[in-house]
Amino acid sequence: MLLALAIALAAAQAVATDPPAREEVRRAAQEVRSHPDLGGPQKERTLRFKSSDKPRQSGDTSGLRWLAELLRWISETSRLLVWVGGAVLVALVLVGLWRWRREHADWAGRTGEALPSHVQNLDIRPESLPADIGAHAARLWQAGESRTALSLLYRGALSRLVHGHAVPIRAASTEGECLALVRSRLDAPKVMFFTRLVLAWQQSVYGGRLVGAEEALALCSEFDVLLAKGAAG
């Protein structure tokens, strides 16, 4: 209302007198702005992106641009993760194939590579073993030579696996490696028998304790049944 009154007075004065000078108009506007009922000048704070030097206006699409940039970054990151995951998967497959080939290759048929005569200092040559390994080991056990009986069973099993079943056991193969090779090539009954034999052998050699007589004699009686001489792999 005061502003309208000032404009009206200025208009009336303009009609009555000459047009006011620029300084008079500026002074009148200043008096109107400084009136207590108008509240004076006010400041308003707004948020905007640093990358934008222009104040936000109605219809500004900077928020949409930010969302588009976010989606683009997620898309590029996802593509990178897919490539990395694919590379890792391919590497795992190649390693698995290499291990499978190493464990399943019939190394006995390789040119120029002979079968091992010893495995971890154990003589596995067929000529160094009796023909009836199971029965001979049972007699040793009953005679009180329990460790010798278990050693004969383990040596005989390795010999039959290498020469009769073409299991690619090497001279440096450990008990665990031999067991893994047997599991990958033979049927369940033979795997179970060899597992029991390995456990009995390890308890005797590393644990310092023997299996029971019943289990030992069972291994002796099952030996020539499950690991018969000259059996096909």
pLDDT in tens, the chain (233 residues): 555 555 656 555 555 455 667 787 788 777 777 766 665 666 777 766 565 455 555 455 666 777 778 788 887 787 777 888 888 888 888 888 877 666 555 444 444 457 889 998 899 999 999 989 999 999 999 999 999 999 999 999 999 999 989 899 999 999 999 999 999 999 999 999 999 999 999 998 888 888 899 999 999 999 989 988 755 44
Find tokens 């390995």 and name the residue: 198
Half-sphere exposure of 5 (CA within 13 A, CB side): 4
What is the b/e burial string over 56-92, where b = at least 16 CB atoms within 10 angstroms of the residue's CB? Answer: eeeeeeeeeeeeeeeeeeeeeeeeeeeeeeeeeeeee
- 173 sits in the region (left: phi over 0; alpha: psi -120 to 50; else beta) called beta
Domain residue spans in the chain? Answer: 118-226
Whole-model pTM: value is 0.52
Name the DSSP class of 117: S
Q: Determine the Cα–Cα distance for residues 222 and 203; give it in Å rounded to an integer.
A: 19
**Dihedral sign, Cα of residue 151, residue 156, residue 159, residue 165:** negative
In terms of C-beta density within 10 A (0-12 exposed, 13-18 middle, 19 or more buried), how is residue 212 classed?
Answer: exposed
Q: Determine the Cα–Cα distance for residues 153 and 132; give it in Å rounded to an integer.
A: 11
